[in-house]
Structure 1
Amino acid sequence: NQSSWLMVISCDSLIPATMLWQKLQPVTTQINKNQEADKKVICLTDNSHLYPLLGLYQLSIEPDLKVYINSGERRVMAFIQPMTHAVPLTSNWQHLTNFNTPIDFERACTSLCNL
Protein backbone atom coordinates (compact mmCIF):
# COMPACT_ATOMS: atom_id res chain seq x y z
CA ASN A 1 0.00 0.00 0.00
CA GLN A 2 1.53 3.26 -1.12
CA SER A 3 0.30 6.41 0.60
CA SER A 4 0.22 9.87 -0.91
CA TRP A 5 2.47 12.39 0.79
CA LEU A 6 2.72 16.17 0.63
CA MET A 7 6.10 17.83 1.20
CA VAL A 8 6.04 21.05 3.22
CA ILE A 9 8.91 23.54 3.28
CA SER A 10 8.72 26.76 5.28
CA CYS A 11 9.29 29.97 3.36
CA ASP A 12 12.19 30.90 5.65
CA SER A 13 14.19 27.76 4.94
CA LEU A 14 17.12 27.55 2.56
CA ILE A 15 17.31 23.74 2.61
CA PRO A 16 17.08 22.72 -1.05
CA ALA A 17 13.80 20.89 -1.71
CA THR A 18 15.55 18.02 -3.48
CA MET A 19 17.86 17.46 -0.50
CA LEU A 20 14.95 17.51 1.95
CA TRP A 21 13.04 15.03 -0.24
CA GLN A 22 16.07 12.71 -0.42
CA LYS A 23 16.39 12.81 3.37
CA LEU A 24 12.72 12.19 4.21
CA GLN A 25 11.30 10.09 1.36
CA PRO A 26 13.03 6.82 2.34
CA VAL A 27 11.16 6.97 5.66
CA THR A 28 7.84 6.68 3.79
CA THR A 29 8.99 3.30 2.47
CA GLN A 30 10.09 2.27 5.97
CA ILE A 31 6.71 3.30 7.43
CA ASN A 32 4.83 1.38 4.73
CA LYS A 33 7.10 -1.67 5.08
CA ASN A 34 6.79 -1.79 8.87
CA GLN A 35 3.07 -1.03 8.66
CA GLU A 36 3.37 1.91 11.04
CA ALA A 37 -0.12 3.17 10.28
CA ASP A 38 0.04 5.63 13.18
CA LYS A 39 2.96 7.54 11.61
CA LYS A 40 1.50 10.02 9.16
CA VAL A 41 3.95 12.91 9.51
CA ILE A 42 7.68 12.78 8.86
CA CYS A 43 9.65 15.86 9.83
CA LEU A 44 13.07 16.99 10.89
CA THR A 45 14.06 17.34 14.51
CA ASP A 46 17.04 18.58 16.49
CA ASN A 47 17.85 18.17 20.17
CA SER A 48 15.14 20.57 21.28
CA HIS A 49 12.19 20.58 18.89
CA LEU A 50 10.45 19.36 15.76
CA TYR A 51 10.45 21.22 12.46
CA PRO A 52 6.90 20.51 11.25
CA LEU A 53 7.31 22.86 8.30
CA LEU A 54 10.18 20.77 6.98
CA GLY A 55 8.45 17.50 6.43
CA LEU A 56 6.14 15.11 4.65
CA TYR A 57 2.46 14.73 5.51
CA GLN A 58 0.24 11.84 4.54
CA LEU A 59 -2.75 13.29 2.72
CA SER A 60 -5.04 11.00 4.73
CA ILE A 61 -4.72 13.28 7.80
CA GLU A 62 -6.68 16.07 6.10
CA PRO A 63 -10.18 15.13 7.37
CA ASP A 64 -9.04 14.73 10.98
CA LEU A 65 -7.00 17.95 10.83
CA LYS A 66 -10.01 19.87 9.48
CA VAL A 67 -12.19 18.57 12.32
CA TYR A 68 -9.46 19.49 14.83
CA ILE A 69 -9.10 23.05 13.51
CA ASN A 70 -12.84 23.57 13.01
CA SER A 71 -13.42 22.59 16.64
CA GLY A 72 -11.42 25.67 17.65
CA GLU A 73 -8.04 24.07 18.20
CA ARG A 74 -5.04 25.98 16.90
CA ARG A 75 -2.15 23.99 18.37
CA VAL A 76 -1.23 21.95 15.30
CA MET A 77 1.88 20.58 17.05
CA ALA A 78 -0.37 18.88 19.61
CA PHE A 79 -2.31 17.33 16.73
CA ILE A 80 0.70 16.02 14.77
CA GLN A 81 3.09 15.02 17.58
CA PRO A 82 1.55 11.58 18.28
CA MET A 83 1.67 10.68 14.59
CA THR A 84 5.15 12.03 13.85
CA HIS A 85 8.22 10.08 12.83
CA ALA A 86 11.11 12.45 13.56
CA VAL A 87 14.25 12.40 11.42
CA PRO A 88 17.44 13.94 12.84
CA LEU A 89 18.37 17.26 11.29
CA THR A 90 21.55 17.07 9.25
CA SER A 91 24.09 19.14 11.19
CA ASN A 92 25.05 21.42 8.30
CA TRP A 93 21.36 22.28 7.79
CA GLN A 94 20.91 23.81 11.26
CA HIS A 95 21.35 27.42 10.12
CA LEU A 96 19.23 26.82 7.00
CA THR A 97 16.03 25.93 8.86
CA ASN A 98 14.80 29.45 9.49
CA PHE A 99 16.07 32.94 10.01
CA ASN A 100 14.55 35.94 11.69
CA THR A 101 17.31 38.55 11.76
CA PRO A 102 19.87 39.86 9.28
CA ILE A 103 22.57 37.98 11.21
CA ASP A 104 20.56 34.74 10.92
CA PHE A 105 20.20 35.38 7.18
CA GLU A 106 23.95 35.94 6.74
CA ARG A 107 24.65 32.74 8.68
CA ALA A 108 22.17 30.87 6.48
CA CYS A 109 23.78 32.15 3.29
CA THR A 110 27.21 31.09 4.53
CA SER A 111 25.86 27.65 5.47
CA LEU A 112 24.20 27.29 2.06
CA CYS A 113 27.54 27.93 0.35
CA ASN A 114 29.08 25.15 2.45
CA LEU A 115 26.62 22.40 1.44
Structure 2
Amino acid sequence: MNDASNAVIAAAILAGGDSQRMGEDKAALGDNDLPLIECQVKDLRALSQTLPILICSGSRRYEALNTYDVRHVPDSVKSAGPLAGVSKALETAAAAGLEEGFVLVLPTDSLIPPSHIYDRLTGAMSAASEVVLLKGEHLHPLHGLFSVSLTSSMNDYVESGGRSVMGFLDDRSWSAVTVPGVWEPCLNFNTPEEYERALAAFAKMTSV
Protein backbone atom coordinates (compact mmCIF):
# COMPACT_ATOMS: atom_id res chain seq x y z
CA MET A 1 0.00 0.00 0.00
CA ASN A 2 1.06 3.62 -0.50
CA ASP A 3 0.42 6.58 1.81
CA ALA A 4 -2.73 7.57 -0.06
CA SER A 5 -4.28 4.22 0.80
CA ASN A 6 -5.31 5.64 4.18
CA ALA A 7 -7.88 7.74 2.33
CA VAL A 8 -9.65 4.63 0.98
CA ILE A 9 -12.31 3.80 3.55
CA ALA A 10 -14.27 1.05 1.75
CA ALA A 11 -14.45 -0.99 -1.45
CA ALA A 12 -17.59 -1.61 -3.50
CA ILE A 13 -18.07 -4.27 -6.18
CA LEU A 14 -20.84 -3.55 -8.67
CA ALA A 15 -22.72 -6.78 -9.43
CA GLY A 16 -26.32 -5.73 -9.88
CA GLY A 17 -26.64 -5.95 -13.65
CA ASP A 18 -28.81 -8.51 -15.41
CA SER A 19 -25.92 -9.77 -17.60
CA GLN A 20 -28.40 -10.16 -20.45
CA ARG A 21 -25.83 -10.17 -23.26
CA MET A 22 -23.61 -12.61 -21.36
CA GLY A 23 -26.47 -15.06 -20.88
CA GLU A 24 -25.44 -15.79 -17.28
CA ASP A 25 -24.50 -13.87 -14.16
CA LYS A 26 -21.10 -12.30 -14.83
CA ALA A 27 -20.22 -12.37 -11.13
CA ALA A 28 -20.54 -16.17 -11.17
CA LEU A 29 -18.24 -16.73 -14.15
CA GLY A 30 -15.41 -19.10 -13.27
CA ASP A 31 -11.84 -17.89 -12.89
CA ASN A 32 -9.19 -20.06 -11.23
CA ASP A 33 -11.94 -22.42 -10.03
CA LEU A 34 -13.65 -19.64 -8.07
CA PRO A 35 -16.49 -17.36 -9.13
CA LEU A 36 -15.16 -14.09 -10.46
CA ILE A 37 -16.67 -12.04 -7.66
CA GLU A 38 -15.11 -14.31 -5.03
CA CYS A 39 -11.70 -13.88 -6.69
CA GLN A 40 -12.13 -10.13 -6.39
CA VAL A 41 -13.19 -10.25 -2.75
CA LYS A 42 -10.38 -12.66 -1.88
CA ASP A 43 -7.83 -10.31 -3.45
CA LEU A 44 -9.25 -7.34 -1.54
CA ARG A 45 -9.10 -9.30 1.71
CA ALA A 46 -5.44 -10.10 1.03
CA LEU A 47 -4.93 -6.37 0.66
CA SER A 48 -6.71 -5.56 3.92
CA GLN A 49 -8.45 -7.66 6.54
CA THR A 50 -10.39 -4.68 7.88
CA LEU A 51 -11.44 -2.70 4.78
CA PRO A 52 -15.26 -2.73 4.53
CA ILE A 53 -16.31 -4.52 1.32
CA LEU A 54 -19.74 -3.70 -0.09
CA ILE A 55 -21.38 -5.98 -2.65
CA CYS A 56 -23.75 -3.81 -4.71
CA SER A 57 -25.85 -6.58 -6.20
CA GLY A 58 -29.43 -5.33 -6.03
CA SER A 59 -31.59 -8.12 -4.60
CA ARG A 60 -29.02 -10.81 -5.47
CA ARG A 61 -26.95 -12.39 -2.70
CA TYR A 62 -23.73 -14.41 -2.93
CA GLU A 63 -23.60 -16.75 0.05
CA ALA A 64 -20.03 -17.88 -0.71
CA LEU A 65 -18.84 -14.39 0.19
CA ASN A 66 -20.10 -14.50 3.77
CA THR A 67 -16.81 -15.95 5.03
CA TYR A 68 -15.03 -12.81 3.82
CA ASP A 69 -17.04 -10.45 6.04
CA VAL A 70 -18.71 -8.51 3.24
CA ARG A 71 -21.95 -6.58 3.25
CA HIS A 72 -24.56 -6.88 0.50
CA VAL A 73 -26.32 -3.60 -0.20
CA PRO A 74 -29.28 -2.85 -2.51
CA ASP A 75 -29.20 -0.12 -5.15
CA SER A 76 -30.33 3.35 -4.07
CA VAL A 77 -32.95 3.25 -6.85
CA LYS A 78 -34.10 -0.02 -8.45
CA SER A 79 -33.28 -0.64 -12.12
CA ALA A 80 -31.28 2.58 -12.29
CA GLY A 81 -28.01 1.19 -13.59
CA PRO A 82 -24.57 0.93 -11.99
CA LEU A 83 -24.52 4.53 -10.77
CA ALA A 84 -27.28 3.57 -8.33
CA GLY A 85 -24.87 1.00 -6.90
CA VAL A 86 -22.12 3.59 -6.55
CA SER A 87 -24.58 5.96 -4.91
CA LYS A 88 -25.68 3.33 -2.39
CA ALA A 89 -22.06 2.43 -1.61
CA LEU A 90 -21.26 6.06 -0.78
CA GLU A 91 -24.45 6.35 1.28
CA THR A 92 -23.63 3.16 3.19
CA ALA A 93 -20.11 4.34 3.97
CA ALA A 94 -21.36 7.73 5.14
CA ALA A 95 -24.08 6.14 7.30
CA ALA A 96 -21.42 4.00 8.98
CA GLY A 97 -19.64 7.16 10.07
CA LEU A 98 -17.02 7.02 7.31
CA GLU A 99 -17.70 10.58 6.23
CA GLU A 100 -14.25 11.44 4.89
CA GLY A 101 -12.25 9.56 2.30
CA PHE A 102 -12.89 7.55 -0.84
CA VAL A 103 -14.72 4.38 -1.80
CA LEU A 104 -12.88 2.12 -4.26
CA VAL A 105 -15.46 1.14 -6.90
CA LEU A 106 -15.00 -1.88 -9.18
CA PRO A 107 -17.30 -3.72 -11.59
CA THR A 108 -17.50 -7.47 -11.20
CA ASP A 109 -16.71 -7.98 -14.91
CA SER A 110 -12.98 -7.29 -14.60
CA LEU A 111 -10.09 -9.74 -14.55
CA ILE A 112 -7.44 -7.31 -13.33
CA PRO A 113 -6.91 -7.97 -9.60
CA PRO A 114 -8.50 -5.25 -7.47
CA SER A 115 -5.23 -4.74 -5.60
CA HIS A 116 -3.52 -3.68 -8.85
CA ILE A 117 -6.32 -1.27 -9.68
CA TYR A 118 -6.17 0.04 -6.11
CA ASP A 119 -2.45 0.76 -6.43
CA ARG A 120 -2.90 2.60 -9.73
CA LEU A 121 -5.77 4.74 -8.47
CA THR A 122 -4.32 5.65 -5.09
CA GLY A 123 -1.02 6.48 -6.74
CA ALA A 124 -2.83 9.10 -8.83
CA MET A 125 -4.85 10.73 -6.04
CA SER A 126 -4.62 14.48 -5.57
CA ALA A 127 -6.15 16.87 -3.09
CA ALA A 128 -8.20 18.49 -5.85
CA SER A 129 -9.91 15.41 -7.25
CA GLU A 130 -13.26 14.18 -5.98
CA VAL A 131 -13.02 11.18 -8.32
CA VAL A 132 -10.11 9.29 -9.89
CA LEU A 133 -10.91 6.95 -12.80
CA LEU A 134 -9.00 4.36 -14.83
CA LYS A 135 -8.17 5.01 -18.46
CA GLY A 136 -6.94 2.35 -20.85
CA GLU A 137 -7.75 2.61 -24.53
CA HIS A 138 -11.07 3.95 -23.23
CA LEU A 139 -12.11 5.70 -20.05
CA HIS A 140 -13.58 3.30 -17.46
CA PRO A 141 -15.92 5.30 -15.20
CA LEU A 142 -16.89 2.25 -13.12
CA HIS A 143 -13.28 1.66 -12.03
CA GLY A 144 -12.51 4.49 -9.67
CA LEU A 145 -12.14 6.21 -6.35
CA PHE A 146 -15.22 8.24 -5.38
CA SER A 147 -15.21 10.73 -2.52
CA VAL A 148 -17.82 10.17 0.17
CA SER A 149 -18.42 13.94 0.03
CA LEU A 150 -20.38 13.24 -3.18
CA THR A 151 -23.02 11.16 -1.36
CA SER A 152 -25.84 13.71 -1.24
CA SER A 153 -25.35 15.14 -4.72
CA MET A 154 -25.06 11.70 -6.31
CA ASN A 155 -28.21 10.49 -4.56
CA ASP A 156 -30.07 13.55 -5.83
CA TYR A 157 -28.78 12.97 -9.36
CA VAL A 158 -29.85 9.32 -9.41
CA GLU A 159 -33.24 10.00 -7.84
CA SER A 160 -33.89 12.71 -10.44
CA GLY A 161 -33.30 10.20 -13.25
CA GLY A 162 -29.57 10.63 -13.84
CA ARG A 163 -27.86 7.42 -14.92
CA SER A 164 -24.50 8.44 -16.43
CA VAL A 165 -21.34 8.57 -14.33
CA MET A 166 -19.80 11.07 -16.72
CA GLY A 167 -23.01 13.09 -16.76
CA PHE A 168 -22.81 13.34 -12.98
CA LEU A 169 -19.15 14.38 -13.21
CA ASP A 170 -19.83 17.19 -15.71
CA ASP A 171 -19.38 19.87 -13.07
CA ARG A 172 -17.13 17.92 -10.72
CA SER A 173 -13.38 17.77 -10.24
CA TRP A 174 -12.08 14.43 -11.49
CA SER A 175 -8.93 12.95 -12.97
CA ALA A 176 -7.89 9.73 -14.69
CA VAL A 177 -4.83 7.52 -14.50
CA THR A 178 -3.66 5.68 -17.61
CA VAL A 179 -3.05 1.93 -17.34
CA PRO A 180 -1.28 -0.42 -19.78
CA GLY A 181 -3.13 -1.04 -23.03
CA VAL A 182 -2.97 -4.79 -22.45
CA TRP A 183 -5.40 -4.29 -19.57
CA GLU A 184 -8.16 -3.01 -21.87
CA PRO A 185 -9.93 -6.28 -22.82
CA CYS A 186 -9.76 -7.40 -19.19
CA LEU A 187 -11.49 -4.35 -17.71
CA ASN A 188 -14.98 -4.96 -19.07
CA PHE A 189 -16.80 -7.73 -20.93
CA ASN A 190 -20.47 -8.11 -21.77
CA THR A 191 -20.68 -11.12 -24.09
CA PRO A 192 -19.22 -14.65 -24.04
CA GLU A 193 -16.91 -13.65 -26.91
CA GLU A 194 -15.60 -10.63 -25.00
CA TYR A 195 -15.07 -12.79 -21.93
CA GLU A 196 -13.04 -15.31 -23.94
CA ARG A 197 -10.92 -12.47 -25.34
CA ALA A 198 -10.40 -11.16 -21.81
CA LEU A 199 -9.27 -14.57 -20.57
CA ALA A 200 -6.86 -14.94 -23.49
CA ALA A 201 -5.43 -11.45 -22.98
CA PHE A 202 -5.03 -11.98 -19.25
CA ALA A 203 -3.26 -15.30 -19.81
CA LYS A 204 -0.71 -13.58 -22.04
CA MET A 205 0.27 -11.06 -19.40
CA THR A 206 3.52 -11.83 -17.63
CA SER A 207 2.59 -9.26 -15.00
CA VAL A 208 -0.20 -6.80 -14.39
| TM-score > 0.5 by shorter chain | yes
> Relative to structure 1, is the Cα distance of residues 64 and 110 closer, same or farther in structure 2, using a 3 angstrom cutoff?
same
Q: 110, 113, 116: which is aligned to 1:19?
A: 116
SS of 2:124's partner is helix
- Normalization by structure 2: what TM-score? 0.47
What does residue 167 of structure 2 align with?
78
Cα distance in 2 for residues equivalent to 1:73 and 1:108: 30
Cα distance in 1 for residues equivalent to 2:173 and 2:164: 14
- Normalization by structure 1: what TM-score? 0.79
Bigger mean CA deviation after superposition, 96-105 or 75-84:
75-84
Decide whether the 8 Å contact of 2:185 with 2:197 is kept in 1: yes
What aligned pairs does 1:30-45 form with structure 2 within 5 A after superposition? 31-32=126-127, 36=128, 39-45=129-135
| 1:105 correspondence with 2:202 | no
Give aligned-pair identity as a percent: 32
Q: 154, 172, 186: which is aligned to 1:65?
A: 154
User: How far 1:71 sits from its partner (Å)?
Assistant: 2.6
User: How far 1:9 sits from its partner (Å)?
Assistant: 0.9
- Structure 1 unaligned runs (5+)? none
Q: Deviations for 1:33-84, whole angstroms, at most 9, x for unmatched residues?
A: xxx1xx211111245x421111111111111111222233233321124422
| 1:4 correspondence with 2:94 | no
Q: Tell me: higher relative CO, structure 1 or 2? Use CA pairs within 8 A at least 6 residues apart.
A: 1
RMSD over aligned Cα, in angstroms?
Answer: 1.8
Number of residue equivalences: 106
Bigger mean CA deviation after superposition, 13-22 or 99-108:
99-108
SS of 1:74's partner is coil
Decide whether the 8 Å contact of 2:103 with 2:146 is kept in 1: yes
| 1:55 correspondence with 2:144 | yes
What does residue 90 of structure 1 align with?
180
